[in-house]
A and B are shown apart, each in its own frame.
Chain A
Amino acid sequence: MKSEKQDIPERESRDFQYLDIDGTRYLTQFNAKFPPAKRWSRPDKKNVNAFIPGTIQKVMVEPGNQVQAGDTLVILEAMKMRNRISAQESGVVKVVNVREGDQIPKGFLIMEFE
């Protein structure tokens, strides 16, 4: 996975844009960190995402398996620690997107529930 190059335009060359605050639209420039690249969205409980980048050491379930809340789904090794990724809720595994040995980035969709 290749990270995007940091491309920071000079302040002088930045365009003017509008920023809404309390119903008023202000003409202004944005700085290098704004607006944030990602919009916030509500986390989906049916999705299991990696909270830390690392390596999948063990996959304990396969599609179709019925799991209980708290059951271990995968072991994700990161920062010399074997992290147990467990089910938030009971349900049936729909898709497993990782195999043992896979190196995954933060936020990677490890598996989905029905």
Chain B
Amino acid sequence: MASNKKIQELKKRREEVLKGGGEKAIQKQTAMGKMTARERIIQLLDRNSFNEYDLFVEHEARDFGMDRKKLHGDGVITGTGTVNGKPVCIFAQDFTVAGGSLGFMHARKITKIMDHALKMRTPLIGINDSGGARIQEGVNSLAGYGEIFFRNTLNSGVIPQISVVLGPCAGGAVYSPALTDFVFVVENISKMFITGPEVIKTVLGEDISMEELGGARVQSEITGNAHFYASTEEECFKQIKRLLSYIPWSNSEPLVHREVHEPLKKYNISKIVPADKKQPYDVRDIIRAVTDGSDFFEIQESWAANIVIGFGTLNGKTMGFVANQPLVLAGVLDVDSSDKAARFIRYCDAFNIPIITFVDLPGYLPGVAQEHAGVIRHGAKVLYAYSEATVPKITVILRKAYGGGYIAMNSRHLRADFVFAWPDAEIAVMGPEGAANIIFRKEIEEAKDPEKVRKQKVQEYIDKFANPYVAAAKGYIDAVIEPRETRSVLLHAVEVSGNKTVGMPRKKHGIPPF
């Protein structure tokens, strides 16, 4: 048994390291409205579940006076704990210790816990709050980043990886969050960029603040780098716990099972979609009208809002929902919404989460800006992701399904397992106005009253093609259903797909249009 003296020594050593960067630095951290790294871990994990490792790790740097500097824990806290009663691996950079700068041993602590997460098949949560590379350690700190990025890639699709940006995360450091599955940011606290405002000012003469360049709102509304936005750190931790309540712990874990409640009465599915195809509505109400308890956890709510993605449950099992949003940009597919949907589809497929797709879109967004931004290449991501996914894939066409948009949105042709359509659905190459103008161009041009003939021809087209029965006659749609039948039809389709087995040709990996 250890002598009392030795136990006292251990306690003393622990106390010393737990001081972090010292009182002054902690005061500074608090003054910025930020929790300390340790407080964050304790808030996020289940009560008393945190077990810390590598508490006594020290850096080995010798140059520039570093040999005389002691950095507690080398600026990062690592360990394991539980969330919702299940094990996770976690690290949190400690800004109070040398600005959370990343040195060689700091990185080694992180990579050690990352390796652990992969081996034990637990999610990895990384809390980033760091001034960047520890310049005194030179290329060794770059090596540290590289080792982290490599492991992020290796872990990708095997275990969930969550990045929480709670402070600056600049330069190369931002590539770790970018390689992970979900990035959380908090207003006024998170700052992400490759080159900071100072460099931009000197090199380019552009004057911009950190917040305007890469703050939480910019990352969640303009760039799409962040998936979840919160006003406070507490709210952010609640979001993380909620996310972890939907996703499987690894790619070999079965789906989470949650309590089943009927959808709320206030979401009356028969009354949400306006009959006039030009009128908008919020497609999230459709999702809430079918999910258990009308619960829907939206991802990237504010970026590329013309497509909606997120998790909900059907009969207690997690589903990934993808839906065109007529409320924003008429629900078109464009560069950003294609990118957003494709990545989410691949996430669901990697973790065996069935995908439910709601379709109501006029097609791809026209315009020089879109073409020059590469909408061909980005739009192709949706086709690739749906085609490649082997999880159960179920589609409901609510209203419009035109042209390339129809094909892209998990059509039968991309191997959807079930395609349903509402009686109002229109499956056609394009909208009636555009189609009539092309098919009957000559007749319209040569008519005495072109406007009258045009209207007639549009109506003719509507009568003939603006319905789901042309596609149903070819078997491209499995069933035309009443809106109120949607939930029961989906529940059944999911149940029937429980043992879905399909093969893909042998390959090392495909080459998606990144």
Interface residue ranges, A against B (CB under 8 Å): 1-3, 5-6, 8, 11, 16, 19, 21-34, 36, 39-40, 53-54, 78-79, 103, 105-106
* A31-B329 in contact (CB<8A): yes
Chain B 268-306: CB-based contact to A (< 8 A → 1; otherwise 0): 000000000111100000000000000000000010111
Which residue on A lies nearest to B435, using beta carbons? A22
* A33-B336 in contact (CB<8A): yes
* A31-B305 in contact (CB<8A): yes
* B330-A26 in contact (CB<8A): yes
Which residue on A lies nearest to B206, using beta carbons? A3
Q: Which residues of B contact A30 (CB under 8 A)?
A: 328-329
Interface residue ranges, B against A (CB under 8 Å): 203-208, 212, 217-218, 221-222, 277-280, 302, 304-306, 326-332, 336, 362-363, 365-366, 368-369, 372, 402, 430-435, 437
Q: Which residues of B contact A22 (CB under 8 A)?
A: 362-363, 366, 402, 430-431, 433-435
New A-B contacts (5) at CB < 8 Å, excluding given A3-B208, A24-B434, A26-B277: A3-B206, A5-B212, A31-B329, A32-B302, A53-B203
Q: Could you tell me the distance between the alpha carbons of A19 and B367 in the complex, rounded to whole angstroms?
A: 11
B147 to chain A, nearest CB (A): 28
> Looking at the complex, which one of A11, A26, A32, A34 makes contact with B278 (CB distance below 8 Å)?
A26
* A26-B362 in contact (CB<8A): yes
* A1-B206 in contact (CB<8A): yes
Count A/B pairs, Cβ under 8 Å. 103
A25 to chain B, nearest CB (A): 6
* B362-A21 in contact (CB<8A): yes
Contact status of A8 and B222, CB under 8 A, knowing A22-B362, A24-B433, A27-B278: yes
Do most interface residues of chain A lie in helix, strand or loop, or is the interface mixed? Answer: loop
B195 to chain A, nearest CB (A): 11
* A105-B278 in contact (CB<8A): no
Q: Which residues of B contact A40 (CB under 8 A)?
A: 368-369, 372
Name 20 A/B residue pairs within 8 A (Cβ), A-sorted.
A5-B212, A8-B217, A21-B332, A21-B365, A21-B434, A22-B431, A22-B434, A23-B431, A23-B434, A24-B434, A26-B278, A26-B280, A28-B280, A28-B327, A31-B328, A32-B302, A33-B336, A39-B368, A54-B203, A78-B203
Q: Which residues of A contact B330 (CB under 8 A)?
A: 19, 21, 26, 28
Nearest first, the 9 A-B pairs at minimum CB distance are A22-B434, A23-B433, A26-B330, A40-B368, A53-B204, A23-B434, A28-B330, A24-B431, A21-B362
B293 to chain A, nearest CB (A): 24
* A11-B302 in contact (CB<8A): yes
Q: Could you tell me the distance between the alpha carbons of A17 and B221 in the complex, rounded to whole angstroms?
A: 20
Q: Could you tell me the distance between the alpha carbons of A112 and B282 in the complex, rounded to whole angstroms?
A: 51
* B208-A8 in contact (CB<8A): no
Q: Could you tell me the distance between the alpha carbons of A23 and B457 in the complex, rounded to whole angstroms?
A: 14
